[in-house]
Amino acid sequence: MAALPTPSPDDFPGATPAFSPLYQQIKGLILQSLQSGEWKPGEAIPSEMDLAARYRVSQGTVRKAIDELAADNLVVRRQGKGTFVATHAEQHVQFRFLKLVPDSGTPGSEGPAQRDIIDCRRVRASADIARALALRTGDAVLQARRVLSFAGTPTILEDLWLPAAPFKGLTAERLADYHGPMYALFETEFNVRMVRAEEKIRAEAAIDGRELLLKVAHGTPLLSVERIAYTYNDVPMELRRGYYRTDTHYYRNTLN
């Protein structure tokens, strides 16, 4: 049997615009493989030499594409070992999306948060939830609520909405039984990897029962953080509204 031809950027006309630089086209092809699950989170991707042969381009072109993927936190280079698909299960990645830092310490210095899953149920998406998740009003979504505590003090109250289809089988019990980061659960159990997020931040008061769950006085100022998290190709996969106590913590972000 004759060998199949090796793919090149010309074989994938929809991957990236035809006028984009060649390394961007190669980046698009690698992203396609990541999205399809050819290389799963935590696994090594082929070497630059092998990818160059696969796509019939120079090794330098592949290196530049991987440089951008690494800058986007989609892959991780390990000296002497190769390049691996980034995973939320890695310790240094676990706090990438958690920006709340103790007044004295660094992210993670308090140890893992204690999690209390309040609820997880299937509901119909309201207009604003549907808009955020690129769904239709009334589509099925999973709604979850949890409280994160540090050193026994309730610190973060979170409400989450997820499109129901990709997360079929997710229950409050499953969330409670998983002891790693929630995004690592989504990655390993549902093959959904969150690769980036957008946040809106404002101040809100502890009302409507939030004060009871966070054990603060009615009306206490809270930091409200609304996040939309995306998987590959900018597909929204989670809407999260968090309410943060900031009496012993502060929100830290790095701007480049």
Q: Give yes or no: residues 155 and 243 share one domain.
A: yes
**114 and 218 fall within a common domain:** yes
Mean of all residue pLDDT scores within the chain: 87
If one counts every other C-beta atom within 10 angstroms of the C-beta of residue 166, the result is 15
DSSP-derived letter for residue 46 is P
Strand 153-163 to 235-244 pairing: antiparallel
pLDDT for 228-255, tens place per residue?
A: 999 988 999 999 999 999 998 888 877 6
Rounded CA separation 83/51 (Å) = 12
pLDDT at 137: 97
* Percentage above 90 pLDDT, the chain: 57
Q: Would 4 be classed as within a structural domain?
A: no
Claim: this prediction has a pTM higher than 0.85? no
Q: Which residues contact 248 (CB under 8 A, 6 or more apart)?
A: 102, 103, 153, 155
- The highest-confidence range among 76-85, 92-101, 119-128, by mean pLDDT, is 119-128
Where a domain ends, among 58, 85, 112?
85
- CATH number for the domain including 26? 1.10.10.10
- Note the pLDDT tens digit of each residue in 119-140: 999 999 999 999 999 999 999 9
Find out whether 139 and 125 touch, Cβ atoms under 8 Å. Answer: yes
Say if strands 114-124 and 153-163 run parallel, antiparallel, or are unpaired.
Answer: unpaired
d(CA 62, CA 141): 39
Domain match, 209 and 111 both: yes
- The model's confidence at residue 4, banded by pLDDT at 50, 70 and 90, is very low
Same domain as 127, residue 194: yes
In a shared domain, residues 74 and 40: yes
- Residue 246 covered by a domain: yes
**Degrees, nearest 5: CA angle 50-33-47:** 20
The first and second tokens of residue 26, run together, are 């190669």
Lowest-confidence segment of 42-56, 76-90, 145-159 by average pLDDT: 76-90
Range of the structural domain that residue 27 is part of: 9-85
The number of distinct structural domains making up the chain is: 2
For 149-167, write each residue's pLDDT tens digit. Answer: 988 999 999 999 999 999 9
Q: How many CA atoms lie within 13 A of 21 on its CB side?
A: 9
Contact 227, 238 (CB under 8 A): yes
Q: Are 221 and 162 in contact (CB under 8 A)?
A: no
Element (H, E) at 62: helix 59-71
Instruction: State yes or no: pLDDT of 41 exceeds 60.
Output: yes
